[in-house]
Amino acid sequence: MTSDTLSIAQTNHHQTGIGSVSVDFHLLLCVLLWGFLAVSCFPVACKASETQVKRYTVDILRTIPHSTSSFTQGFLYHNGFLYESTGLVGHSSLQKITPDTGEVLERLQVDGVFAEGLARWDNRLIQLTWKDRFAYIYNLSDFSPAGIFQYQTEGWGLTSDEQHLIMSDGTDVLYFRNPRTFAIERRVKVTFEGRSLPYLNELEYVDGSIYANVWYQNVIVQIDPASGKVLGIIGTQPILRMLPPLSQDSVLNGIAYNTEMQTFYLTGKNWPQIFEVTLIQEF
């Protein structure tokens, strides 16, 4: 990952074992993706008609150690601690981390599923699963089980605003769900310059906007939750330049926000570091 441009060497959404993917498959995927770019004007590829979309970069304040065995799928900050959901069947977990040192203070192994996005609602944590179509509910204080929610799509990202849990499923749709029943109360399709933006992944709600990782993109998008329109694009070049060589599965995926300090924590799948940053508007 060396630039804020589209990565065309993709595999299955959560796949490891890259050597098993054939060259022909990669070539086909390249063709399909470049065709998608040609017709969709994806944000990282287009230069025209961006006058209403703000562009940001990041200012790195500090780095925090992060376990390279943590395949980050969900990430949030609350009351002085980071909470992380990690994926891969057999390796999924829920973790409580101190942002001072990166030490994992508490870890719950989540067996038999591929864990996904993570959000807090009051004194509960909700952790999605990828294809099992249910979410675990935990007590925030000790990770003890408090129930499950069921849903009918894949589970990718999860965050919360003042009224809803907001979920992504890998498409261009965000689902606004009742935090007590998980029933869908509304949907919004995310667009950039009027065209759909799929592969929405990990989410974070901050000051009236939804910030989203986009699978295999080196940018974060800022989304208006009312209209679904992309309001801003955050490039991550300063972060990418500090990372060692990583596998193609080790993508940017993890956004948490410290409301007291007004800083973001950004990380990725199996990344060795968490980056505490502020945003700088470029234009």
User: What number of residues does the chain have?
Assistant: 283
| Tokens 């942002």, residue located | 99
Would 162 be classed as within a structural domain?
A: yes
| pLDDT in the model for residue 95 | 98
| Predicted confidence (pLDDT) per residue in 248-266, tens digit | 999 999 999 999 999 999 9
pLDDT band per the 50, 70, 90 thresholds, residue 23 = very low
Which distant-in-sequence residues (6+ apart) come within 8 Å of 38 by Cβ?
A: none
pLDDT of residue 50 exceeding 80: no
Least-confidence region, from 9-13, 66-70, 110-114, 205-209:
9-13
| pLDDT in the model for residue 41 | 43
Q: What is the dihedral of CA 210, 216, 218, 222, to 10 degrees?
A: -10
pLDDT of residue 193 exceeding 70: yes
Q: 28: which 2 tokens?
A: 């086909």
- Which CATH number goes with the domain that contains 216? 2.120.10.30
Tell me what percent of the residues of the chain surpass a pLDDT of 90.
81
Would 11 be classed as within a structural domain?
A: no
Q: What is the mean pLDDT of residues 174-199?
A: 96
Global confidence as pTM: 0.84
Distance CA 215, CA 254 (A): 11
Question: Which three-class secondary structure state does DSSP give residue 20?
Answer: helix
Question: Which three-class secondary structure state does DSSP give residue 237?
Answer: helix
Return the closest-CA partner of residue 57 out of 256, 241, 206, 259.
241
| Predicted confidence (pLDDT) per residue in 226-249, tens digit | 999 999 999 999 999 999 999 999
Could you tell me which residues are beta bridge partners of residue 80? Answer: none
Would 6 be classed as within a structural domain?
A: no
Q: What is the mean pLDDT of residues 136-140?
A: 98
| Predicted confidence (pLDDT) per residue in 57-83, tens digit | 999 999 999 999 999 999 999 999 999
What are the backbone angles phi and psi of residue 100, rounded to the nearest 5°?
-70, -45
Using only C-alpha atoms, what is the Rg of the chain?
18
Tell me what percent of the residues of the chain surpass a pLDDT of 70.
82
Which distant-in-sequence residues (6+ apart) come within 8 Å of 256 by Cβ?
A: 75, 76, 77, 82, 204, 264, 265, 266
* Total count of domains within the chain: 1
Would 3 be classed as within a structural domain?
A: no
Q: What is the mean pLDDT of residues 83-111?
A: 97
- Domain assignment of residue 247, given as a range: 18-281
The pLDDT mean for the chain works out to 87
Distance CA 106, CA 104 (A): 6
Q: Provide the 8-state DSSP code for 83.
A: E
pLDDT band per the 50, 70, 90 thresholds, residue 283 = confident
Which amino acid, one-letter code, is at 32? L
Buried b (16+ CB within 10 A) or exposed e, 97-123: bebeebebeebbebeebbbbbbbbeee
Task: Enumerate helices (H) and strands (E) in the chain, giving the number of each.
Answer: 2, 22
Would 220 be classed as within a structural domain?
A: yes
**Structural element, H or E, at residue 61:** strand 54-65
